[in-house]
Structure 1
């Protein structure tokens, strides 16, 4: 009986923690401020740097397939409004590209970035940083 009760309590705790982690109603942090006489809403975004990964032994054919899957994955996140900006660097450093994620938490950005086929294969490593930006800003 004691083992069953302990198991049920543990199961309940796991369910509560899991439900909090996948809370799709969570919103990004924002705050209002005035700049140059205009009210602006600042939002916390997350910059995901995609760096050269440790696993680079794939054949050229495998690498090309992974690249197609990578682009399709990121394109889908962009179409879903999860990624606002995205693109490669010039390849001269270990940072191969970056994306700006419009999600509520760093953990969510990291989880999504690590689901990228190139990250799963080890060709890219993920580094995530919070970034405050005026909501709705874009490159001009």
Structure 2
């Protein structure tokens, strides 16, 4: 029962989006994705930090869409997932604290559990410039270190500034 409650809590506190720039006006130096606009300066800052980005034009709306490479971490059942309930509960609390820290520091944009009990237990989208950085952050999770989870990482492209609906 505790596992299900923890899984639900992960999903609740890790889903968020930031639409703080809705009121900017669009001009020739900006690029728009939904309600978010990106200036050439903001785009250059992303490039300077090492992010991979590309601009695409939506054929229907003719809007320029800023695509960014993110890293999707699949949190899979680890080789040592048979800890006692007490140890498992402790690792789960540490795992949730790790995910919250990744979100608070801006390294992860969204995390959540998978709704079945298969080998893939959850997903985290890392908003960092390199696979190596995503790998380091994902593998610093206490549940990964303990062998309860293991990480499988993949590059993933999405329109910057979009949100779930």
Give the TM-score normalised by the residue count of structure 2: 0.68
1:27 to 41, 47, 50: 50
**Structure 1 partner of 2:123:** 98
Cα distance in 2 for partners of 1:137, 1:44 equals 13
- SS of the residue corresponding to residue 42 of structure 1 reads strand
- SS of the residue corresponding to residue 49 of structure 1 reads strand
Q: Which of the pair is proportionally richer in helix?
A: 1
**Structure 2 partner of 1:12:** none
Cα distance in 2 for partners of 1:77, 1:101 equals 8
Larger radius of gyration: 1
Cα distance in 2 for partners of 1:136, 1:109 equals 20
The 5-angstrom pairing of residues 118-129 of structure 1 reads 118-129=143-154
Query: How many pairs align?
Result: 116
- SS of the residue corresponding to residue 112 of structure 2 reads strand
**Structure 1 partner of 2:5:** none
**Cα shift at 1:72:** 0.4
* Residue 49 (structure 1) aligned with residue 49 (structure 2): no
**Structure 2 partner of 1:131:** 156
- After superposing on structure 2, the runs of 4+ consecutive aligned residues of structure 1 that deviate more than 4 Å are none
Cα distance in 2 for partners of 1:85, 1:136 equals 13
In the alignment, structure 2 segments of 5+ residues that lack a partner are: 1-47
Cα distance in 1 for partners of 2:82, 2:65 equals 47
The 5-angstrom pairing of residues 47-126 of structure 1 reads 47-126=72-151
Cα distance in 1 for partners of 2:157, 2:82 equals 37
